[in-house]
Amino acid sequence: MSPKSSPQKAATPVPFRVGVVLLVLGVAASVLSVFQWSQLLTLRAGGSTVCGVSDTVNCETVWNSPFATRLHELFGIPVAGLGLVWGLTVVALSALYLARARSGKPVAPAAQGLKLTAGAGIASVLVFAFASFQTGVVCPTCLGTYALVAAIAAVAWKGLPAAGAGQWVPALQWTVGVTVAVFIAVLLPGRSLSSPQPKAGSLLPVASSSSTTQAATPASLEAYLRGLPMEQQQFISNALALYRRDVPKAAAAPARHRYGPVDAPVKIVEWTDSKCPHCKALVEELAVLKKRVPEGKLSLEARQFPLDGSCNPAMPKRGPDAPSVRCVAAKAQICLEGAPDFWELREKLFAAQAVLDTERVMEIASSGSMSRMQLDACISSAATAAKIQEDTSYALRYQFTGTPLVVVNGRQAMPSAPFLYALVMADGNPSAPAFDVLPPPRAMPQDDHAGHNH
């Protein structure tokens, strides 16, 4: 008689250490995603991040790209949140694999689920890497995520047991179930932690479709203020308290280019940097604001405060002496000040912020009424350099902590479209009776008066 075969002896040993390695790598990927999410929150709050190193090494540009913003709007959490979902899915499946291996149960669903998750991670990395490449900058923390995903994929596909017939369908069911559960667990608290950048003008009155009126304003400023969300009412109240405390300063230099009449009751002067995300938001908001307020009530000056010491002595140098995109963009805007399409081209520059480099600046700035030859000559001129100095010296009269800097009728103001709209509708009077509908102001630090640190 031939001896009976033993199923135990024929069984393939389960690689336990592979599960431990995947668990550790999954935790590392999750921790890195949490760090990136926390940095995004810091950036949204106006702070500076650890990876905003230079024009070419900068996570902030990638996080604020149109692709990242669209994903945030679609899923309700930022790209870092999606990375956290993926990392926690790896952790959950690895823990399940180890638990089943220790108890002697079949590990195939968890093992093949890890392979499916790793494959999805590699596909996502290729998409995200291509989107990052299009911005023209390097995101160091993103590279760390890519490396961890590649490591997890290599360990999962090489170290875990091979799949048998009919094992992929239950593995897919397990993977989808775990991923959905993790996504819901992250989404619920995650939505309250951060939100995508609001659309420009979302808190301003809707423009009228009538050609005879410039804007569909509410019946009164009081009605507009009452219609705002409570947090916006509180914000405007706080901003008004700071604005009232400030002492008006006379203009340090005559306007070189102005939107609106010289005798407008509200005169706004704003300083921006071409790579500052909050400046981009302000430029977009002001473009809407100009269309939503009654004609003649507002004038606007755009001045430059590039965050680079190669053209701004108030800032440290960000790299070699070669012209930076910040300096070139600032000088290009100064050169366009006499052009009839100044505001249109300026808005195009900021719209392209995520992919902006020196060549792209020149392409956009010379796409209108000024030729490339004229632009080149103007940018390299001493007169343009002197105007940069004028703008930075003017800005330094105010105790501001970062761009954008906004000054209304000589007083420093919060760079907020609803607040600026309210001031315009009050003809610049911060003590207008309509403001009495707002809640009492809450204490705000004096250094919160200005723009955002960089």
Residue 26 tokens, joined: 């999954």
pLDDT of residue 22: 95
H or E element that contains 303? strand 298-304
Query: What is 293-361 written as a DSSP string?
Result: SPTTSEEEEEEE--S-TTT-TTS---SSSSPPHHHHHHHHHHHGGGSTTHHHHHHHHHHTGGG--HHHH
Q: Which residues of the chain have pLDDT under 70?
A: 1-12, 44-48, 54-55, 165, 192-199, 207-219, 318-323, 444-454
- The domain limits of the chain are 13-193, 221-448
pLDDT of residue 162: 83
pLDDT of residue 65: 79
**Which residue from 419, 413, 416 is spatially nearest to 221, judged by alpha carbons?**
419
pLDDT of residue 174: 86
Distance of alpha carbon 413 from alpha carbon 431, whole angstroms: 15
Distance of alpha carbon 81 from alpha carbon 184, whole angstroms: 11
φ/ψ (deg, to 5) at 304: -115, 140
pLDDT of residue 326: 92
Largest Cα span, the chain: 111
Fold observed for domain 221-448 = Glutaredoxin (3.40.30)
Beta strands in 121-279 (DSSP E): 266-272
pLDDT of residue 216: 46
Strands 405-408 and 266-272, by their bridges, are antiparallel
Residue written as tokens 């091979």?
162
Query: What separation in angstroms does the CA of 333 have from each of 149, 349, 368?
Result: 42, 9, 12
φ/ψ (deg, to 5) at 42: -60, -45
Scanning 12-107, the segments in alpha helix (DSSP H) are: 16-44, 59-63, 66-75, 79-103
Distance of alpha carbon 187 from alpha carbon 180, whole angstroms: 10
For the domain spanning 13-193, the CATH number is 1.20.1440.130
pLDDT of residue 404: 94
Distance of alpha carbon 57 from alpha carbon 156, whole angstroms: 31
Distance of alpha carbon 117 from alpha carbon 104, whole angstroms: 23
As to burial, measured by CB atoms within 10 angstroms (0-12 exposed, 13-18 middle, 19+ buried), residue 321 is: exposed
